[in-house]
Amino acid sequence: MAANLKQRYTLEEYLELDRDSEERLEFWNGEIFNMSGASDAHDTIEVNMIACLAPRLAGKGCRLLSANMRIKVPSAPPYRYGDLSALCGEAQFEKIGGVDAVVNPSLIVEVLSPSTEKYDFDVKFRQYQSIESFREYMLVRQDRIFVTHFVKRENGEWIHHIYDEATHTINLESIECRILVSEIYRNVSLAEHGITDPETR
């Protein structure tokens, strides 16, 4: 999570700020957090996933939404920003504070940063679970090959799998699509973290 703006705001003040800002601002308990300013690795992972998934979803009646799309979260009004989201079927939107927020994502992806990891794993995941259509959650580390994939079963239980090899394949059930871990990390430099894996280049 990027730096807190260090002031308390009303929801109405936040909506006005976020509507007029070029940055992604999130609101929580009167505080506003700037979610913009991704690292090169973070940005590359997002671009890789869009490049891989968008053509595979074309013609399937599914849709990919970027980090700029607001996601309505009933338990944490008014909305949150994911790094990527997707759904199959018709995308539904609600005007919140004069801007569009998608209400029915099935897949949400977060690329983890040191400052956001605990928040994304715990607080944000629990908030997202209040979205009725939400079925899959991917958390992607940017400092090493490590993807955590949560899937909601029919009985409401969430199960998860860890993918820590470039050759692993992740089955995204809610959008009926597969992606290789090596595709996610393509052109991400991990050498500075002591990891050299030609499969990710």
Do residue 63 and residue 50 come from a single domain?
yes
CATH number reported for the structural domain that contains residue 186 in this entry = 3.90.1570.10
| pLDDT score of 13 | 87
Residues of the domain holding 11 = 1-37
Do residue 106 and residue 18 come from a single domain?
no
Tens-place pLDDT, residues 47-80: 999 999 999 998 899 999 999 999 999 999 999 9
Do residue 89 and residue 1 come from a single domain?
no
* pLDDT surpassing 70 at residue 36: no
Do residue 84 and residue 19 come from a single domain?
no
* pLDDT surpassing 60 at residue 198: no
SS3 content of the chain, % helix, strand, coil (to 5): 25, 30, 40
Confidence band, pLDDT 50/70/90 cuts, at residue 201: very low
Do residue 86 and residue 14 come from a single domain?
no
- The larger pLDDT score, comparing residue 51 to residue 33, is at 51
Do residue 25 and residue 59 come from a single domain?
no
Average pLDDT, the chain: 89
Q: Give me the amino acid identity at 189.
A: S
Confidence band, pLDDT 50/70/90 cuts, at residue 1: very low
Do residue 59 and residue 13 come from a single domain?
no
Per-residue DSSP letter, 110 = E
Do residue 48 and residue 20 come from a single domain?
no
What is d(CA 173, CA 177) in angstroms, rounded to the nearest whole number? Answer: 7
**84 near 49, Cβ under 8 Å?**
yes
Tally of domains in the chain: 2
**pTM for the whole structure:** 0.86
Contacts of 32 (CB under 8 A, 6+ apart): 4, 5, 7, 9, 14, 17, 25, 26
- Pick from 158, 85, 174: nearest CA to 121: 158
- Pick from 2, 195, 12, 197: nearest CA to 98: 12
Q: What is the mean pLDDT of residues 102-127?
A: 93
Tens-place pLDDT, residues 163-192: 999 999 999 999 999 999 999 999 998 855
| pLDDT score of 7 | 78
Do residue 120 and residue 184 come from a single domain?
yes
Do residue 24 and residue 88 come from a single domain?
no
Do residue 106 and residue 76 come from a single domain?
yes
* pLDDT surpassing 60 at residue 3: no
Tens-place pLDDT, residues 14-30: 888 888 888 888 887 78
Do residue 71 and residue 117 come from a single domain?
yes
Contacts of 4 (CB under 8 A, 6+ apart): 31, 32, 33
